[in-house]
A and B are shown apart, each in its own frame.
Chain A
Amino acid sequence: MSGELLTADDVHVRFRTRGGVVHAVEGVSLAVKAGEVLAVVGESGSGKTVLTRRLMGLVAGGRDTEVSGTVTYDGTRLTDLSGKALSAFWGAEIALILQDPMTSLNPVKRIGVQLTESLLLHKMVATKQEARDRAVALLRDVGLSEPDRRVRQYPHELSGGMRQRVTIAIALSCSPRLLLADEPTTALDVTVQAQILDLLADLHRSSDMAMLLVTHDLRVVRSRSDRIAVMYAGKIVETAPTAALFAEPRMPYTEALMNAVPPVSGPNHVRLQVIPGRPPDLLNPPTGCKFSPRCPYAQDRCLTEDPPLRDAGSPVHQYRCWYPLGTPAWAEAKARNVERGASAAGTPVTEEMVLT
């Protein structure tokens, strides 16, 4: 398994809640190679955050949390480690960036302290003075103006974009080999979003760090990822190299995600399609294919049998679907649903909706 930095094998996370068991992550297997960017894309509620935290070990089994499957980082079975042993990897080998920079920094601690505590903890520096100098340099690296003043400031004195730069500086302070970025720009203004993504791309390019970039927006990762894993209802429903996924999506959900956003290039007046229906109820997931209640091509089989992960020509492109896009079976399914005006699940289907 050379080149693979992080592998997850059949990872499950279930939460026991008052309302029942939430199937947040249902058998995810994935691999992140050293130095690559793997994007995890899916609507909100599809389990991306829980998966990310489980990969790191921040979500662990407990009274209300049931976990199974294995996660291996550079030859170490993280899922076998105690909390204390795990924390030796955190910050030093694997780092995390959260969605909302307004809440992910401690409001009562100076920026500088929040940076230096990582450096000192992981022995990246020998003295406090060295740590302070390094903190200033790190802030400069993430493009913050006046870094030597910033280290003395508190988070509330910075804007959202600046704070996210700070959390990136903290995450990268100990030169981790894997960065897990959980929707790092979702909470930011559109103009700042691009700046932060470009910053991450630049930082990634100039180091040999691998990155798991989580987003709900396919647009964001088209030019910024090597591979994409599309997640739906706790499962990976399609995974492929970025170019292949955009060229030949197989899973109707991937297609729906693509149509749900305006194309990056091309005419701007293309009508936006909203994915019809609601994300699945993870308390009572539908039987069969989880996307079938919303899929315009769904047939009877989709409602009862959960499709396995299958190769699309090569093992690097895999998908879960009984009627993959572009195949004769799909064309037939589509024609049938258009004709009867509804999918097998009863979702209305019109010619316009399936115009791909």
Chain B
Amino acid sequence: MTATVATATTDPPAPRAPLGARRRQLLRRIRKRLLHLVLVLLAVTFLAFVVVDLLPGDAAVVVAGDNATPEQVQQVRETLQLDRPLLVRYVDWLGGVATGDLGSSFRTGQPVAAALAERIPVSFEIAIIAQILALLVAVPLAVYSAYRPGRLVDRASMTIGFGAAAMPQFVFGMVLIVLFAGGVTSILPATGFTPFVEDPLRNLRSIILPCLTLMIAEAAVYRQLLRSDMISTLQEDFILMARSKGLGPRTILLRHALRPSSFSLITLSGVNIGRLLGGTVIVETLFAIPGLGQLIVQAVFNRDYMILQGALLFVAVAYVVINMLIDLLYLALDPRVRRDA
């Protein structure tokens, strides 16, 4: 087109955002999130304190052992300072946290920080890899299913997905063990965990089955969610406009439709990572994986509230941090959020 038309626009020019406004906005959001985090942490840890206190028995009973006399138990209780009122103990613990001291396990005497440092990388690795696997499986299936809804890929992936999602996690895990770790087809270890720093290859082999167990139901839900968001995006005028430019289906699906369809998927995925970071008791138990989930369950059984509080602190912080990251991701993905934020 070579024509130059000198019709002046009478529309008001869009307001120009002053430089630095975005950074200020970002800082404001992060500040708000941090305040939020502090409130969540106080609520969660206090609630956990109260609940553990309300359970019958305390750490002293566990530490003193089955054959201990009531006097011995009482003595242990005094050594562990468990005889002080709940609020005093809580404030004491909070004070410790504020100075960076998470305390030590009542039962083993191991510093809480050390116990967490052992468990967190395990849960972190499994959570992230399971999540990546779920997205890797779900996104292509969802995109193609939305492109050809009701056709073979859509119907097959929906049926398999619903089946897998409906199956209890431990059943699915056991099926995987039978398939890949039992008898002639034994190509993967059934249980156990090798840290990555010790032997990366064995580490990967040891987490394949747990990650598969964790990801399957999530992949099914993700596929369903993204598929339906994608189908409604594909009805939009801007997709018709993109088609009318002559763009092919690949470009339209991946470059035009995927990003505006992915917001609820990202939210859900963030929630799930946060949840998985807190450990996955069933999978950790089934595959004998020393993750956070097991640590938390043992701490509850042992009334070992130092460990429990430390773990909960981590889970809550991780949850809020992940949601903060998701928030920032939105900012990057959807220009409209940048303005109304």
Contacts and interface: CB of A to CB of B under 8 A. Distances in A.
B3 A104 contact: no
Nearest to A103: B237
B119 interface: no
A195 B7 contact: yes
B9 A122 contact: no
Nearest to B13: A145
B184 interface: no
Q: Is the interface of B mostly helix, strand, loop or mixed?
A: loop
B243 A202 contact: no
Interface in A196-227: 198-199, 202-203, 206-207
Nearest to B244: A96
Interface string B317-341: 0000000000000000111100100
B236 to A, nearest CB: 6
A153 B335 CA distance: 9
Interface in B244-268: 244-248, 251, 255-256, 259-260
Contacts, number: 130
B246 A104 contact: no
Given A156-B335, A158-B14, A95 B244 contact: yes
A88 B248 CA distance: 9
Interface in B288-341: 333-336, 339
Interface in B274-296: none
Interface residues of B, number: 36
26 contacts: A88-B246, A90-B243, A90-B246, A91-B244, A96-B240, A96-B241, A96-B244, A98-B240, A103-B238, A104-B237, A106-B242, A108-B260, A108-B336, A117-B251, A121-B245, A141-B5, A143-B9, A146-B13, A154-B335, A157-B14, A161-B10, A161-B11, A192-B10, A195-B10, A199-B5, A207-B1
Interface of B: 1-14, 236-238, 240-248, 251, 255-256, 259-260, 333-336, 339
Q: List the 9 shortest-distance A-B pairs measured between CB atoms, nearest first.
A: A206-B3, A91-B246, A90-B246, A96-B244, A91-B245, A143-B7, A103-B237, A154-B335, A159-B11
Interface of A: 53, 56, 58, 84, 87-92, 95-96, 98, 100, 103-109, 117-118, 121-122, 138, 140-146, 153-154, 156-159, 161-162, 165, 167, 170, 172-173, 175, 191-192, 195, 198-199, 202-203, 206-207
Given A158-B11, A170-B241, A207-B1, 4 more contacts: A117-B255, A138-B1, A145-B13, A202-B7
